[in-house]
Structure formats: structure tokens, C-alpha cells
Amino acid sequence: MKLFVSGRKDVFNTLSENIAPNETTLWFHCASLGEFEQGVPIMNACKQLLPNHKIVVSFFSPSGYEVKKKDPIADVVVYLPLDTLQNAKKFIAATNPSLAIFIKYEFWPNYLFELQKNKIPTLLVSGLFRSKQSFFKPYGGFMRKALGTFDHLFLQNENSKDLLSSIGISNFTVSGDTRFDRVSHQIEQNNTLDFMEQFKGDSLCIVCGSTWTEDEVVLLDSINAASENVKFVIAPHKIEPSKIHTFRKNIQKKTALYSEVISLSEVKKTKNLSEANVFIIDMVGLLTKIYNYADIAYVGGAMGATGLHNILEPATFGVPIVIGKNFEKFPEAKKLQQLAGLFSVSNAQECTEILEKLTNNASFRNKTGMIAGHFINNNTGATKTVMDYIEKLDSLKSKTNA
């Protein structure tokens, strides 16, 4: 809450310092980190199409802003001021956007109405709707009006299309999820990490990414029961030393902690990592490349109520995925489960059973991993659909490659 409040104090100063009165921008709004990742392919494409526009990214939550406030893809990164009429007028005047793009499911009425009033094209990208949202309730008239301000809505799935159709909205395209485009490019990058080469060696590696305490409790039995040729990487979602210390004490295998080994000499580092069975990553920003070393991935967040993290990152490397039990709000997980590239577990016993099956049966592991990889390849293309629309906007045509 402290960051939520303090981070918003200097927003308008930051904007005035970084955007001159005669400059125009492309404004992307993201709720948090996951939505930012969905926006990245569009941001990159827009930078190519409209190089004279500055990219402004706003976040609602501290978890997104704190991680991405210095990301080079954006010229300016700020918190979104609270949704008041005065803030909306001031923010839009300060940013002077030629185009506004909201990612997934952030709807702030005052901002949307002000964008419409100023005739600024406004898009929703990777939109995802559920029947429980206020738009689809008898009392949701005001929010339906706000939704009607979008010039076009690019949707993830048919269910969202049907819901919008039921309230008379038709200016949409089912384009898919831009995250598929984002992760599909990762495999083309250099994903080598020397410390992972040293740790994994010839062992089979299970990478447990974005874990919470609820996930780690369930994983503990699997870790302690695993054979010596199976190694685990644990990358907690939040780096909290006290919780990491408690978890580490309960592991009956030899462990290594990233912050401890990274400062060692090369000889000692190699020895520590090669002899460890469990490697705990207490630093953010490494997980995407670490998934390159996974034979199996466990993705956290769905064992509790925090929300499932990104399953597409490991899937792009063609590995089977295990998650917790609460993933009803994540269509990509439901679909991959139907295809048999993802497995949901409810408790420690189920987790141990599926991980043992995947580690002991190479044919089963390879087949399910291949399903996950194909799932990514078969769902790319959302970015092109969105950019085809943006390129045709009359208000931007005169500015394209100007």
C-alpha cells in the first residue's frame, strides 16, 4: 500500500520532464507485470511503425511498476493516477497520446470517457471477459457505457466474443493472446546461463517457477523423495529471505542459493552447483532463461488464491507443465490441460505421482512436452492482427514513418 500511494505522487512531474508539449505518444496501460508482457509485442511493433512517437507505459500495481520502471522498451514508465475526472484530464493532456491501448482487463471509466472526448483511438488488446463481470449484470449500465468507448476490442477467445455480443457490442476481433507471440520469440534468443550449465550437468531438471508458500509445501515431498539424478530449481515469486530460509531448512537434499554462490570463485561455484540437488533462485529476472534448462516445469500460483503465473514461458521450450488446482480463470491452462500437455494437482501426493511419472517415463515426458511446444506455435499471430488494424487508422497514417 505504501508503494501504491507514494509512487503516484510524482507522476505528473515525471511526465512533464520526459514529454515535451509538442511531442506525441503511444500510451499503453497495464494492470501489472503479466499484462506488460502481453503488451510488449505490440510495443515493439509500434516502435517500428511509429518511431517518432514516445512509448508511455502506465501501471496500476507496484508489482509491475517496480520491476519494469527502467525497461528500455518504454520512454516513460509511471503509475496510473487514480481514476478521477481531474486526473484523467491532466494525464491525457500531459501524455498527448495518438493512440491508447489497454491490456487484457483494465477499465477506468474517467480515462476512457476523456479519451473518447478527445477523439483519441482506444483499443483493448488480449481482452478477456467473464460472465461474473459487472458489464454483464443488470446493474452494469455505467460500465457498459465505458466499454462502449473502445474503438475496437481484440479478444483472446470465443467466450469473450459471445459475452460482448450478448450486450450489443460488435466492434471486436477474436485475435488470440499476444503472450504467445511474446514467448515464441524467446526460443530464438541466447538462453544460455553458465550457472545453470554447472548446476544441471547431465541430470534431469525440474524447474519450479514463480512459487508461493502453498506451492512449496506441496513440492517438498517430491523434492525429498527424488532420486539423485533429478535436480530441482526453485524460483519463488517473492524474494523473502525468512521464507526461503524456512523452506530451505525442510529440504533434505544439498541446496545452493543463487545469492550465495554467484559471488564465489569459479572453481568453488562450479563445485557447489554441481554437487547441489536443489538450486534456489533468490533474484528476479532469470526465470525465463532458466526454463530453457527444464525437462519438466512446475508453475506456481494456482495452489493458493494468488493466481496462476505464466505457463506459456516454459511451454515454448517444449516441456510438460504441472500446476496447482485453482486455474479456472486461465483459459490457456484449461486448453493445454485438455490437450494433455499440462497436469493439475491438488495435494502433495498427486504432485509426487505426476512428477515421478514424468521423470521415470521419457516417452511420456517427451510426448507431453511436444504437445506444450505445439500449443505455443499454433496460437501465435495476435500481434499481426492488432497491427494490421493500427496501420489502417486514419489518425495515424500521416504520422507513419514520418
Number of H helices, E strands in the chain: 21, 14
CA 38 to chain centre: 7
C-alpha span between 156 and 145 (Å, rounded): 21
- Lookup result for grid cell 496510473: 80
Identify the pLDDT of residue 5.
53
φ/ψ of 81, rounded to 5, equals -60, 155
Q: What is the pLDDT of residues 369-393, one digit of tens each?
A: 999 999 999 999 999 999 999 999 9
State the architecture of 2-176+381-397 in CATH terms. 3-Layer(aba) Sandwich (3.40)
Give yes or no for residue 7 having a pLDDT over 70: no
C-alpha span between 183 and 380 (Å, rounded): 9
Identify the pLDDT of residue 365.
98
CA 238 to chain centre: 15
Listing DSSP states for 59-99 in one string gives ESSHHHHHHHTT-TT-SEEEEPPPS-HHHHHHHHHHH-EEE
Q: What is the pLDDT of residues 90-100, one digit of tens each?
A: 999 999 999 99
Is residue 379 within 8 A of residue 177, CB to CB? The reply is yes
What are the residue boundaries of the structural domains of the chain, listed by start? 2-176+381-397, 189-377
Q: Poorest-confidence range of 32-41, 88-97, 150-159, 200-209? A: 32-41
Is residue 154 within 8 A of residue 127, CB to CB? The reply is yes
φ/ψ of 233, rounded to 5, equals -110, 130
Instruction: Look up residue 149 and give its DSSP letter.
Output: T
C-alpha span between 210 and 301 (Å, rounded): 7
Give yes or no for residue 193 having a pLDDT over 60: yes
Is residue 115 within 8 A of residue 95, CB to CB? The reply is no
In sign, the C-alpha dihedral spanning 69, 71, 77, 82 is negative
- Residues designated as active site: 35
Q: Beta-carbon neighbour count of residue 265 at 10 Å?
A: 8
C-alpha span between 235 and 269 (Å, rounded): 19
User: Helix, strand, coil proportions of the chain in percent (round to 5)?
Assistant: 50, 15, 35
C-alpha span between 7 and 235 (Å, rounded): 27
Angle 66-81-24 from CA coordinates, rounded to 5°:
90
Identify the pLDDT of residue 171.
98
CATH code, residues 189-377: 3.40.50.2000
Q: What is the pLDDT of residues 194-240, one digit of tens each?
A: 999 999 999 999 999 999 999 999 999 999 999 999 999 999 999 99
In sign, the C-alpha dihedral spanning 137, 159, 305, 282 is negative
Cα end-to-end distance, the chain, whole Å: 43
Please give the mean pLDDT across all residues of the chain: 94
Report residue 76 as a C-alpha cell.
Answer: 516513460
Q: What is the pLDDT of residues 250-293, one digit of tens each?
A: 999 999 999 999 888 888 888 889 999 999 999 988 999 999 99
Pairing mode of beta strands 25-30, 321-323:
unpaired
C-alpha span between 345 and 187 (Å, rounded): 28
